[in-house]
Amino acid sequence: MDGILVVNKPSGITSHDVVNFIRRKFNIKRVGHAGTLDPLATGVLVMLLGKATKLSNTFINDDKEYIAKLYFGKSTDTQDSQGKVVEEKNIEPLDIENIRKALENFKGEIEQIPPMVSAIKHKGKKLYQLARSGKTVVREPRKIRINEIEILDFKFPELAFRIKCSKGTYVRTLCEDIGRSLGVPSHMSGLVRSASGDFLLENSKNMEDVHEKDIISYSSYDRHI
């Protein structure tokens, strides 16, 4: 069984949990995905079955689109709502025009320091493994690209915005950096991946609803093999 499945990952499970579910569902060993989503996040998870797993690098390199929620007034040790609060301030409601201007400063090619809760390796260990043991290490900034960023809704203290960005963009870190640029602590309170390359959320399937007929032929996406 070879092909591509576009799954709408639910919140509360890991991307690898989805891999295991698809393996059991279709009784197939060779299953991978094209870009991890954190347990908190929902949305497009491109699943690769059989020979389509060879396309992993192609799809991982695709640009992504997210709908994010940012909470002003608190920062956490994981940069999202599941972490421990490390800073909290009573702040006055922010002006939406100031927020819009701040967002504009993040467009284009920028440098971003990866969070400790990431799968990047340091001396053979994944950063999130070090973070779980209470360790913090110095991370080198990485270049990312933000093509589009726009406000969707603002009900203080929470901001919803859409972002189109390059691979390797940590939206949780972006949320904290946006708050810092405005002089307030902040964290990511929600995240939906609405697109991964050509694959869109509206064309994805909930895990429990995927069937063999939903598997897309990988031949039209076979760019490098």
Structural domain boundaries in the chain = 3-62+197-221, 64-196
* Spatial distance between the Cα atoms of 41 and 192, rounded to a whole number of angstroms: 6
Q: What is the mean pLDDT of residues 2-30?
A: 96
pLDDT of residue 223 exceeding 80, the answer is: no
3-62+197-221 and 64-196 agree in CATH topology? yes
The pLDDT value given to residue 225? 43
Q: 60-69, pLDDT tens digit by residue?
A: 999 999 999 9
- pLDDT, averaged across the chain: 91
Q: What fold does the segment set 3-62+197-221 form as a domain? A: Pseudouridine synthase (3.30.2350)
* Spatial distance between the Cα atoms of 65 and 164, rounded to a whole number of angstroms: 4
pLDDT of residue 214 exceeding 70, the answer is: yes
The enclosing H or E element of 70 equals strand 64-72
Nearest CA-CA partner of 4 in 27, 36, 30: 30
pLDDT of residue 131 exceeding 60, the answer is: no
Which residues are marked as active site?
38
Q: 153-208, pLDDT tens digit by residue?
A: 999 999 999 999 999 999 999 999 999 999 999 999 999 999 999 999 999 999 99
Q: What is the mean pLDDT of residues 136-149?
A: 86
CATH 3.40.50.300 fits 64-196, yes or no: no
pLDDT of residue 6 exceeding 60, the answer is: yes
Q: Categorize the per-residue pLDDT at 24 as very low, low, confident or very high, splitting at 50, 70 and 90.
A: very high
Q: Categorize the per-residue pLDDT at 224 as very low, low, confident or very high, splitting at 50, 70 and 90.
A: very low
Q: What is the mean pLDDT of residues 108-133?
A: 70
The pLDDT value given to residue 130? 55
The pLDDT value given to residue 190? 97
153-160 long-range contacts, CB within 8 A, separation 24+: 154/96, 154/99, 156/72, 156/93, 156/94, 157/71, 157/72, 157/73, 157/91, 157/93, 158/69, 158/70, 158/71, 158/72, 158/189, 159/69, 159/70, 159/72, 159/99, 160/67, 160/68, 160/69, 160/70
Please tell me the pTM assigned to this model. Answer: 0.91
Q: Categorize the per-residue pLDDT at 120 as very low, low, confident or very high, splitting at 50, 70 and 90.
A: low
Q: What is the mean pLDDT of residues 201-216?
A: 95
